[in-house]
Chain A
């Protein structure tokens, strides 16, 4: 009898222990969160784990540790392109009031959710202290300010409206000039189609949204495009109808959707497709030696131009770091933000990541080939914010746009598409 009792108690206790372990596991997050009590540690949360970006982060980390000998850098990176998984984990950490010391986010409206939930502290004081308003372009400051407050420090700039093309295919199809307007683009697509190649390569549905933002910018013009994100914007007007019809025409020349943007870009690099519209991270993929990239030669195997109709405008997106409220090591986080904002930090990070610094005073000799072009345009062009990469719209709005585009790909109904986009704008506080 006694043995049965003992067994029962033992099993019960074991069960309880398992239960409490379940409860405790939540806080562990990725299972390697910083040691309690190590106040000198700075936990930096990002999704930079791929080739290039992880090297860039390491370079910034070295500068950080050299400047702040008392602090250690804790890399809380979560793998996954564009940070889907990282952001899901971050959401649960923030809801549990267990923020990292600083986290990566796309600069702009994507941070609105965090701002509304009261998760972020404004960093205006840092902009004043480091005189950042003088080194970042004024339009960038305007586009990331929310009610006069700035909530993040942009580390890099990527360009979204880049048209990549295969010079060989264009020559074969008899396209002599790189198309600069939507009309010329459609004519070129038609010629390539006649020549029996894929006119335009696309990847999964988000790459089509990426295409949409460039077509909207090209068809509406920069002023009207930037107006779309302000109060009283016109999503139902005839200009938008025309832009969406352009989009439909262009999309009708697209090849079979590939798994993601890389296979789509590869079709261009391999001379199977003529054009693809993708952000400038594609440059690293085209240019870097195999394993990380395709090892192609720029200007001969692949070439680039602003997306049709968007010459003179730089559609930007940016990775930035934030200051969460209740960060365990606020001073450490501020020290990290200072490195991320500095010329030294940005010039160490960006050549490796394949992007350009947000600062205007970067060392131009570090940026060659495509990046030299981008840096020049960044300093002189008008700016517009990206949709798919979180500059102009918050997560909910972006998801609604993605949904509308996915449905449009099936229905091909422009009127319905326009209505869905107008509704998305209205539901998102316009």
Chain B
């Protein structure tokens, strides 16, 4: 009785969330994978089990390889850009900028906006009109005499997805800055001073003391940004809608389910997105579990 008293209240507390997660996360995930392995290519028929046929077949579709390429370009530019910019901002703050609190708030503000709102604003900013018809950023370039910088933004066939990453960088770099700032502050002043006493230049202090200590923060930031990027949907739909020129797996999934009425294909794409995200998340979980055990 006393033993039960000890664990039962705790279990009761977490039971609702365990049940909810079991049903709505893992149950649904399982259901999705099961659906992806059937040939239920319309809403009314009963699907038969076909194994991994959908998973291999989708690579024959030209649209799929385009959307995977787009997702890769978007992820590289977005994650790289947000990490670099966030690091740079944090570095400047750390150097003891006057009015740091104000700047911090300014850089963090974009986080408070939804991707949809960001997308609507940037759709206008990244208008592809040039010359006399330029509006948005192209117009700005025109006014300040940087006409050569005008380009078609997300409508550019080769680098359009890099342009699409700009609003995402704008929105998330403040958050990365906050992460890095906390990381910088976590480096004990004594360590730096010891290095300086040993004759390190300021550059070397950063190279050998601060940067290695920022590794865990960088990893967390990479994982947070990476999974946002692979699931990107709202921003892209708000900027350009469901067009091939900016197609990514999540948008393709929506089109497969709601326009093509092909549940199995939609589930296959969803499964690939989950797999891609877990490539990011699982190593992180393993790493943090190990770290916890060590400490």
- Nearest Cβ on chain B to A132's Cβ, whole angstroms: 29
Query: Quick one: given A12-B16, A204-B241, are A117 and B43 in contact (CB under 8 Å)?
Result: yes
List the A side residues contacting B44 at CB < 8 Å. Answer: 116-118
Task: Provide the A351-385 mask, 1 if CB < 8 A to any CB of B, else 0.
Answer: 00000000000000000000000000000000000
Query: How would you classify the secondary structure of chain B's contact residues: helix, strand, loop or mixed?
Result: helix
- Nearest Cβ on chain A to B40's Cβ, whole angstroms: 13
| Max count, chain A CB within 10 A of own CB: residue among B62, B244, B245 | B244
Contact present for B43 and A256 (CB under 8 Å) = no
List the B side residues contacting A91 at CB < 8 Å. Answer: 43, 258
Interface hit among A157-165, A299-307, A327-335, A405-413: A405-413
Check A79 for interface membership: any CB of B closer than 8 A. no
Contact present for A403 and B16 (CB under 8 Å) = no
Interface hit among A169-177, A183-191, A393-401: A393-401
Task: Provide the B145-177 mask, 1 if CB < 8 A to any CB of A, else 0.
Answer: 000000010010100000000000000000000
For A15, give the chain B residue with the smallest CB separation.
Answer: B16
Contact present for A396 and B15 (CB under 8 Å) = no
Interface hit among A3-11, A33-41, A223-231, A287-295: A3-11
Check B42 for interface membership: any CB of A closer than 8 A. yes
- Nearest Cβ on chain B to A6's Cβ, whole angstroms: 10
Contact present for B260 and A205 (CB under 8 Å) = no
List the B side residues contacting A113 at CB < 8 Å. Answer: 42-43, 261
Interface size on A, residues (CB 8 A): 37
Check B113 for interface membership: any CB of A closer than 8 A. no
Check A19 for interface membership: any CB of B closer than 8 A. yes
Query: How would you classify the secondary structure of chain A's contact residues: helix, strand, loop or mixed?
Result: helix
Residue of B10, B13, B243 near A204 (CB, 8 A) is B243
* Complex CA distance for A117 and B17, rounded to whole angstroms: 36
Contact present for A410 and B245 (CB under 8 Å) = yes
Query: Quick one: given A256-B129, A256-B155, A410-B244, are A95 and B43 in contact (CB under 8 Å)?
Result: yes
Check A1 for interface membership: any CB of B closer than 8 A. yes
Interface size on B, residues (CB 8 A): 38
Residue of B9, B19, B245 near A406 (CB, 8 A) is B245
Query: Quick one: given A11-B13, A257-B155, are A406 and B123 in contact (CB under 8 Å)?
Result: no
For B262, give the chain A residue with the smallest CB separation.
Answer: A396
- Nearest Cβ on chain A to B97's Cβ, whole angstroms: 39
* Complex CA distance for A257 and B262, rounded to whole angstroms: 29
Check B104 for interface membership: any CB of A closer than 8 A. no
Task: Provide the B245-286 mask, 1 if CB < 8 A to any CB of A, else 0.
Answer: 101000000010011111000000000000000000000000
List the B side residues contacting A402 at CB < 8 Å. Answer: 259
Check A16 for interface membership: any CB of B closer than 8 A. yes
Contact present for B244 and A403 (CB under 8 Å) = yes
Query: Quick one: given A407-B62, A409-B244, are A19 and B16 in contact (CB under 8 Å)?
Result: yes
* Complex CA distance for A59 and B10, rounded to whole angstroms: 61
Contact present for B9 and A4 (CB under 8 Å) = yes
Check B20 for interface membership: any CB of A closer than 8 A. yes
- Nearest Cβ on chain B to A108's Cβ, whole angstroms: 16
Query: Can you list 6 A-B contacts with CB-CB less than 8 angstroms, sorted by A residue number?
Result: A113-B261, A395-B261, A398-B259, A406-B244, A407-B63, A410-B157
